[in-house]
Amino acid sequence: MCFGYSGVNDGTMLYDDLFLRLEKVRWTLGEDIPFDDIDEGKLTDQWVHDITQICLTELSALYATEMFLRDFYADIDFCSFISVWFYEEMKHHLVLRKYLERIGVPIEEGDLPKLRLTFDEGPAVETLTMHYCGEQRLAHWYRAFSGSADEPVIKQIFTTLATDESRHAAAYAKYLRKAVKNNPSCVLDILKMSLWMLRSTNDHPKHPTTMTEPSVVAQLEDPTYLVRMLNMYLPGKDHEQPVHRRILALMSEITATPMESTKDLLSSIRQQQIILETA
């Protein structure tokens, strides 16, 4: 595996600093979410349905954590960070579940096991890259959902979740930088996966919850909810430009090559292939 398991590891533990940084900005379920202020008159049946589907999708953090601990077994630093990521991601599922309970739409525990999945093993650095891109994209989606919601508490919740996802993306970026430092040959795999992830559309959105077979979203009662929400709240082919800019900024950094488009990314992939072939 490319993710620091070969090559020289400098011994730096990112987990220590990330734990403190995330702890300082962590929100609390009991104090920061004003459930008593929910205005049910501003909720439609469609919003309630979609919030339910998103809540169940967020449960996939459990399956992803099992995958991370299996596939990154030798990387104590990254597995330590996943303990924080798992806690914060499962809180996303919990806050949405508590919201639904407040409006009289509880999710029954007995319905959850049918959603259970085990992800296939994959190359570690590509998995990490996919999740970095996925967190950037999910933050973008949640900001759009927040901006479109009329009910003030769910609007706040989606903004809160979007901020968390952006922080998680930043943490994954740190581990990608570490992977490149430990083993520069990883760069090509990172670039290829980033290019593949950037080639996403509303009708075929690329996120870790949509890409396995079966996918997390495919297990849901309404597997089409995400495509419908994206086309409703993020219309137009250019809406993903903020996601592209953030991902390309990191790719530019790790290659020391400015990139502003997927065309530039493809060119950088070709350059990295030449470097490896002539090394």
pLDDT digit string, tens, across residues 48-87? 999 999 999 999 999 999 999 999 999 999 999 999 999 9
Mean pLDDT of 90-98: 98
132: pLDDT strictly greater than 80 = yes
Neighbours of 275 (CB within 10 A): 13
Query: Is-contact 189 129, C-beta < 8 A?
Result: yes
The single residue listed with the structure tokens 């085990």 is: 118
Average of per-residue pLDDT across 117-146 = 97
R_g (Cα) of the chain, nearest Å: 19
Residue 2: what pLDDT?
Answer: 52
Q: Tell me what pLDDT residue 9 has.
A: 60
- Distance (Å, rounded) from C-alpha 222 to C-alpha 90? 21
pLDDT of 136 > 50? The answer is yes
Residue 218's pLDDT is what?
96
The interaxial angle of helices 14-24 and 152-182, nearest 10 deg, is 160
Contact 158, 143 (CB under 8 A): yes
CA distance 76 to 259: 32
Closest CA to 197 of 111, 133, 136: 133
Instruction: Quote the percentage of the chain above a pLDDT of 70.
Output: 96
Give the mean pLDDT of the chain. 94
Domains in the chain with CATH codes: 41-278 (1.10.620.20)
Residue 234 pLDDT > 80:
yes
Q: Quick check: 3 pLDDT over 70?
A: no
Given a cut of 60, whether residue 222 has pLDDT beyond it is yes
Question: Hey, what are 94's tokens?
Answer: 């919990």
Measured from the Cβ of residue 266, the count of other Cβ atoms closer than 10 Å reads 14
